């Protein structure tokens, strides 16, 4: 086998709480995370020179040592010192700097794909440990599905599968720095926190309306102040039939839960036009 194609699925945060800041500068989190159908495609080909070559359909995406796929390859190459290298094409569909975990998903897919393609003798648990060093969301993006993430996001507990739902994703035409959002978060000012037990119980019962009622993200207190459009898009989604809407991760992408496919697509047309959005999608649970 000279090449492999690997899917890199986006994620949403159904509920996201920040418990406090750690001595190492990171934050302790508690979040229910879910992979969705929206995905990037990673093509990896073996080359017979010991280098890492990355290209992408997104011209502003770094393709050098700053790229997480490059870091994933380097971590494996440093461990096994192969005589060959890889050529990687990143076909991006997940918006960049959007709160949807696109970079982490690409990194996770690259770890899995390079291991398979080059037959490195690394166990899956070892691969997860490498992923943790590259980004807090990388292990989740490897595991996929419905999970409770704790610690810095790296302690994962698998939950019951989320029930089917149509998800409208709308990214305002801005990019958000996760580091900046966390640096501006004032833990003491958080007045409403997610009810994680209610969310998990609703997922266990496959009660979509109860899940929607409990969507919550404390990082909205930071990002919406800077980008009020996020709140306007949330409100418009519910006016157009969403059971509920929420910002994912550090933002700025808003997702809304729709029971009906036609309603989701009609809402997409309305919101895309009204807010002049470039990146807006209907997706599903993966």
Q: Which residues are catalytic?
A: 11, 137
Neighbours of 132 (CB within 10 A): 15
The whole-angstrom separation of Cα 30 and Cα 201 is 15
DSSP symbol at 187:
G
Question: Strand, coil or helix: what is 216?
Answer: strand
The whole-angstrom separation of Cα 95 and Cα 275 is 17
Angle at which helices 102-118 and 68-80 cross, to 10°: 30
Provide the Cα torsion 236, 99, 145, 77; round to 10°. Answer: 160
167, 260 contact by CB (below 8 A): no
Query: What is the number of alpha carbons within 13 Å of residue 284 lying toward its C-beta?
Result: 8
- The residues facing 17 across adjacent strands are 30
- The residues facing 12 across adjacent strands are 34
Q: What's the distance, CA 256 to chain centroid?
A: 15
Query: What is the number of alpha carbons within 13 Å of residue 110 lying toward its C-beta?
Result: 30
């Amino acid at each position: 086998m000279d090449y492999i194609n690997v899917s890199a699925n986006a994620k949403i945060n159904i509920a996201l709480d920040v418990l406090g800041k750690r001595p190492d500068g990171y934050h302790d989190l508690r979040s229910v995370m879910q992979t969705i159908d929206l995905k990037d495609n990673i093509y990896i080909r073996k080359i017979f020179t010991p280098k890492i070559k990355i290209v992408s359909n997104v011209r502003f995406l770094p393709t050098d040592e700053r790229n997480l796929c490059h870091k994933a390859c380097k971590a494996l190459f440093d461990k096994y010192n192969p005589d060959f290298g890889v050529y990687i094409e990143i076909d991006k569909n997940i918006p960049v700097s959007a709160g949807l975990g696109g970079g982490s998903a690409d990194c996770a897919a690259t770890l899995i794909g390079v291991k398979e393609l080059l037959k490195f003798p690394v166990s899956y648990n070892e691969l997860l440990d490498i992923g943790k060093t590259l980004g807090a969301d990388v292990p989740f993006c490897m595991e996929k599905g419905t999970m409770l993430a704790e610690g810095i996001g790296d302690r994962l507990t698998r939950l019951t599968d989320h029930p089917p739902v149509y998800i409208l994703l709308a990214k305002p035409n801005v990019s958000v720095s996760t580091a900046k959002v966390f640096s501006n978060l004032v833990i003491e000012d958080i007045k409403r926190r997610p009810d994680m037990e209610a969310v998990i119980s609703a997922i266990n019962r496959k009660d979509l309306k109860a899940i929607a009622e409990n969507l919550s993200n404390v990082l909205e207190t930071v990002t919406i102040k800077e980008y009020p459009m996020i709140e306007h898009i949330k409100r418009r989604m519910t006016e157009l039939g969403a059971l509920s809407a929420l910002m994912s991760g550090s933002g700025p992408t808003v997702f809304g839960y729709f029971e009906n496919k036609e309603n989701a697509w009609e809402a997409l047309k309305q919101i895309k036009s009204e807010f002049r959005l470039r990146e807006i999608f209907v997706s599903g649970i993966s």
